[in-house]
Amino acid sequence: MNGEPLVRWDWLWAHLGPIADRIGQHLYLTAIAVGVGFVISFALAAVSIRRRRLYPPVVVVATALYTIPSFALFAALVAITGLSILTAEIPLVLYTFILFVPNIVAGFDAVPWDVLDAADGMGFTAGQRWWRVELPLALPLVVASLRLATVSTIGLVTVSAILGDRFGGLGYYILDGYHRTFTTEILVGGLLSIGLAVLADLGFVLLQRVLTPWAAARAVSR
């Protein structure tokens, strides 16, 4: 490639500010998608737990959504929601369902029945039982699903760069570098995106430790 070095460090130093902004945008887009996806998924999981017959269809739909290529979904949504943030977020949110719902349901299913029987027998109200027993015991799988969805979404956010330079987070550099055949930009976008995913992953591992010290105690005693 006409004698260019693989990484143009001068470009990198000159663009530290914009790169930081892109990281911010990347995290912002990720946080909205994971947050909204989590709330909707939690509701879907709650309904599935209470009405078991609804669970299989919910999983089928969530899986079907996940099979739609992101590229196609972003493109198709432009026709409906234009080049708005909705177009960027809707696919990201839809893709989280299959990562959240089965894990949340499994988390609540994993609460031992004898513990619930004991809680009822000792006089927990329904609300107390949910907040003090069911939720804490479901937490390991709930946090695991947050970890999964966050890492996955951080990767997918890059694709939203096709909606223009107001979106995409670090994906902007990947797309721009591709158009200009500028390796430095592609590497910056790609590697930083991977770095964010790794950091998020570690963050959730730590959060898991803090929130469920008892699970660690069990692992040690085995």
Partner 1 sequence: MTTPATPTSRAAALEFRGVTKRYGSGEESTGAVNDLSFTVPAGTICVLVGPSGCGKTTSLKMVNRLIEPTGGQILLDGSDVMSEDVTALRRRIGYVIQQVGLFPHLTIGRNVAVVPALMGWTRERQQARTDELLSLVGLEPGRYRNRYPSQLSGGERQRVGVARALAADPPLMLMDEPFAAVDPIVRQRLQDEFLRLQRALAKTILFVTHDVDEAIKMGDLIAVMEEGGRLAQFGPPEEILAHPASDFVARFVGQDRGLKRLSLSTIADLRTEPLGRREGLPTFSPDTTLRDALSILLVADTRGGVALDEAGQPRGLVTVDAIASALADDRPRRAARA
Nearer residue to partner 1 within complex by CB, 88 or 137: 137
Q: Distance between CA atoms of 208 and 79, rounded to whole angstroms? A: 41
Q: What is the largest CA-CA distance in the chain?
A: 77
Q: Write down the least CB distance from residue 135 to partner 1, Å.
A: 10
Q: Write down the least CB distance from residue 122 to partner 1, Å.
A: 5
Q: How far is CA 126 from CA 40, 47, 132, in A?
A: 22, 17, 10
Nearer residue to partner 1 within complex by CB, 49 or 133: 133
Is residue 141 close enough to count as binding partner 1 by CB under 8 A? Answer: no
Q: Which two tokens stand for residue 121?
A: 């027998």
Indicate the DSSP class of residue 48.
Answer: H
The region of 13-21, 38-46, 112-120, 146-154 touching partner 1 under the rule CB under 8 A is 112-120
The region of 10-18, 22-30, 115-123, 142-150 touching partner 1 under the rule CB under 8 A is 115-123
Q: Write down the least CB distance from residue 213 to partner 1, Å.
A: 8
Supply φ then ψ for residue 107, to 5 degrees: -60, -45
Give Cβ neighbours of residue 83 (< 8 Å, ≥ 6 apart).
163, 164, 166
Q: Write down the least CB distance from residue 119 to partner 1, Å.
A: 8
Is residue 154 exposed (0-12), middle (13-18) or buried (19+ Cβ within 10 Å)? buried
Which of 125, 180, 194, 205 is close enough to bind partner 1 by CB under 8 A?
Answer: 125
Positions that interact with partner 1 (CB under 8 A): 112, 114-125, 128, 133, 136-137, 212, 214, 217-218, 221
